[in-house]
Structure 1
Amino acid sequence: MTTTVTVDDPRDLVAHLPYRLGFHPADSVVLAGLCRGPSGRDLVGLVVRCDLADLGHPAAGPALAATLGGHLLADGAYDVFAVVYLATSRRGVSRDERVRHARRALVDAMPWAASLRGPWFVGHEAFGHLDPCRCCAAGGRPLRDLETSVASAAFVADGRAAVRCREDLAVVRTQDTAARAAAARAGAQERRRVAAARAVGAAFRPPPAESAELCRLRQEHCDLWDSSLGEVPAHATLGRLLVALEDTRVRDAVLAATLAGGDVVARDLLPVDAVDLVLTVAPPPERDTIVAADRLACAVVAHAPDGAAAPALGLLSYLCWWDAAGARADVLAGQALQEQPGHRLAVLVREALDAAVPPPWYPQRHEH
């Protein structure tokens, strides 16, 4: 999802970073690549976060900095804006040995990035240039200035939020036990319907590719998903949708329709090559479409029985990867793998993130 914000003050760039990550970093270094846009204005490209302990390690830090520099260059960065997040004072940040090692590693690895020599910090009460300067007070600027920045206001108005910490990106089960019980009952009943539809085809020898009943049920499940977008579904509906997403044909149709955006509906994309077709076209994410699918999938997860939410979590993690929300994609993929080790879609997301593979639309984002 793309939120376009024009800024003229570096504080707006600092304020922008947690919204790009989806959470407020801690004990971290965040790097934002600055790229040249078609009009000649600077654009914020790839944003990466790493643990201060890793980048500030005397032995391992330089190699990590070189890897990050390679990713930023590949994304088209000509400069890099760096922010250190550490819950202490400006003086405490500047005197931290890990920060000194990290700064040296970054400058050595990316000599082409002039702004790395003037990094910023976000502490427990203030933010600003890490080194003494004329624009920041001795202890830095008050954190409330970030909350009132142009960037923060724009993201909040667009419905974006940055959670307290990375762990908060996970989906939490609802505490409404009656709601979860209703969803579980509906899910169990729907699972019996699916089993019966599959059994109809298996009764013939040789069995057909799939029974007419199973085809009809898949179309029904796609329609149920589409009709539930933008609504507040009944608990029973959420239980049925969880079962629907257990069928990879239905899940892929839902995924492809969400990626395609516009007026595309899931039932029209039930053919097995639908996802490949959408990936080939590689449209950028449409905010309204992604948000609606995200909310519905989160509701399905929140009402799912313990250990059974991997189908919806895998879908969510892929949507986040497509939306270039890497941190949330990683957290949700981890949740899916905890509930179902080896879940294929979650594994694919993890592999893409580990290899720093962006969604296919991302390299052409400036053209969009």
Structure 2
Amino acid sequence: MSITLEVCEPRELLALIPFQLGFQPRESLVLVSLRRPDGRVGLVARADLDDVCDPVTGPAVVARLVDHLRSDGAATVLAVVYTDDALPGAVPDGSRPWVAAATVASAAEPPGVASVWVVGRAGYRRLECVDGLCCPAQGRPLEDLESTQVGAHMVLAGATVRASRDQLADLAPVSEDARRRARAAAVAWRRARSADGLRGPAHADWLERSLVAWHRAVEGSAVPAELGQVAAALDEVVLRDAVLVSLVPGSGRLPEKIVQEVGSPPQDTSTSDAVGRAVAALLDPAAGVRPDDATERGRSALERVVAHHDPGAAPGRTLLALVAWWHGDAALAAAHLDQVCGEQDYRLARLLRTALDAGMPPGWAAVPRPAGR
């Protein structure tokens, strides 16, 4: 969803941050990119406050965040310190919010810092404000942030805020009976794949049946056994890629073509060209598209597949991370990757982690660079 907020609306901006992150930050520094020319909210980046305030590594941590915001096209930066400590006064006193503010000010020239806010356990205030009526010592009440236009808008749109980052990648609970059925089906489906040493048309048939189970999952009609079959089939890179392509708007019958061509020489380059366009829809600023309702249905199906089988299995969790990144939710993407067992052994997970660490946005969200830059 697209929300335009002006820089002069700090209360609205502060209310937006937890929705952008997906969780209520604590003991954190959050930097918000305010894009030119109208102060549109861009990238929201977060770091642990302890890391920011470390005298040795803190400047590098903040510099990396600011680099991401510059790449996002920030005209200026809003800084917010979330702390469990007492709110500091308006005079620099060596407290962590003031240390963080000084570090941000040093790193963010350019684009410059619009203001620094501190959010505590019971109140919030602008750090450098000396007006006791505007920013009393105990801060403005946090209830102010619960009655905002942006908060109402996000709630009506179905957005939710987790209590902490640790809960970001939690999936809906599944009964033990359903999980047992799914796991048994996954074992049988893998056995069917390997017992006959499937190759050529037989392999393609196994993949096609796996893809049918995936489509049933997207429709919401798959039983636990079919969800287990999909989970097992995602171990096959071809099927995983077909599932990913199926999430891209306009992909049509391309996933079926991908699996049908397994084991047989392609007649032409039409399928590979179409796959290239689907990948560009995720990555390329010139061709990038936003996820649509079908993508969201696919994400829900992936969540059910992962929850029914193995929440740490690399293929499913990595796809969930990729979809979260495509939605522009880097925090959720990172949280899903944190759940991957053997991330370093799974190439797609490593590539996505590298993209997240570099602050790379999905194609649709990338800001075009001026010529020569």
What TM-score do you get using the length of structure 1 for normalisation? 0.85
Aligned to 2:249: 261
Distance 1:164 1:218 in 2: 40
Q: For residues 230 and 144 of structure 1, do their structure 2 counterparts lie closer, same or farther at Cα, with a shift above 3 Å needed? A: farther
Aligned to 1:24: 24
Q: For residues 275 and 148 of structure 1, do their structure 2 counterparts lie closer, same or farther at Cα, with a shift above 3 Å needed? A: farther
Identical pairs, percent: 32
Q: For residues 56 and 232 of structure 1, do their structure 2 counterparts lie closer, same or farther at Cα, with a shift above 3 Å needed? A: farther
Aligned to 2:52: 55
Deviation sequence 1:27-64 (CA, Å, 0-9, x none): 1110001112xxx4221112110111122222322233
- The counterpart of 1:251, out of the listed 240, 245, 255, is 240
How far apart are 1:293 and its partner, in Å?
1.8
Counterpart residue type for residue 305 of structure 2 = V
Aligned to 1:206: none
- The counterpart of 1:326, out of the listed 330, 335, 351, is 330
Counterpart residue type for residue 105 of structure 2 = V
- The counterpart of 1:103, out of the listed 101, 125, 129, is 101
Distance 2:300 2:101 in 1: 40
Structure 2 unaligned blocks of 5 or more: 260-270
How far apart are 1:363 and its partner, in Å?
1.6
Q: Quick check: 1:162 aligned with 2:166? A: no
Aligned to 1:276: 276
Counterpart residue type for residue 24 of structure 1 = Q
How far apart are 1:342 and its partner, in Å?
0.8
Aligned to 1:227: 216
Deviation sequence 1:143-164 (CA, Å, 0-9, x none): 2222221112222222221211
| Stretch of structure 1 that moved more, 274-283 or 122-131 | 274-283
Q: Quick check: 1:355 aligned with 2:358? A: yes
Q: Is the 8 A contact 1:56 1:100 kept in 2?
A: no
Distance 1:72 1:356 in 2: 8
Counterpart residue type for residue 87 of structure 2 = R
Counterpart residue type for residue 88 of structure 2 = R
Q: For residues 137 and 230 of structure 1, do their structure 2 counterparts lie closer, same or farther at Cα, with a shift above 3 Å needed? A: farther
- The counterpart of 1:66, out of the listed 60, 63, 66, is 63
Counterpart residue type for residue 109 of structure 2 = P
Distance 1:339 1:236 in 2: 25
SS of match in other structure, 1:357 = coil
Aligned to 2:33: 33
Distance 2:101 2:128 in 1: 12
How far apart are 1:128 and its partner, in Å?
2.9
Structure 1 unaligned blocks of 5 or more: 202-210
SS of match in other structure, 2:47 = strand
Q: Is the 8 A contact 2:18 2:161 kept in 1?
A: yes
Distance 1:275 1:121 in 2: 47
Q: Quick check: 1:285 aligned with 2:290? A: yes
- The counterpart of 2:231, out of the listed 229, 238, 242, is 242
Aligned to 1:151: 150
How far apart are 1:318 and its partner, in Å?
1.4
Q: Is the 8 A contact 1:318 1:345 kept in 2?
A: no
Q: For residues 180 and 316 of structure 1, do their structure 2 counterparts lie closer, same or farther at Cα, with a shift above 3 Å needed? A: same
Counterpart residue type for residue 27 of structure 1 = E
Aligned to 2:180: 181
Aligned to 1:297: 302
Q: For residues 122 and 297 of structure 1, do their structure 2 counterparts lie closer, same or farther at Cα, with a shift above 3 Å needed? A: same
Distance 1:79 1:364 in 2: 15
SS of match in other structure, 1:83 = strand
Distance 1:227 1:172 in 2: 20
Distance 1:101 1:226 in 2: 52
Distance 1:165 1:146 in 2: 17
What TM-score do you get using the length of structure 2 for normalisation? 0.84
Q: Is the 8 A contact 1:279 1:360 kept in 2?
A: no
Q: Is the 8 A contact 2:318 2:337 kept in 1?
A: yes
Aligned to 1:194: 193
Counterpart residue type for residue 126 of structure 1 = G
Aligned to 2:126: 129
Q: Is the 8 A contact 1:235 1:303 kept in 2?
A: yes
Distance 2:235 2:274 in 1: 17
SS of match in other structure, 2:88 = helix
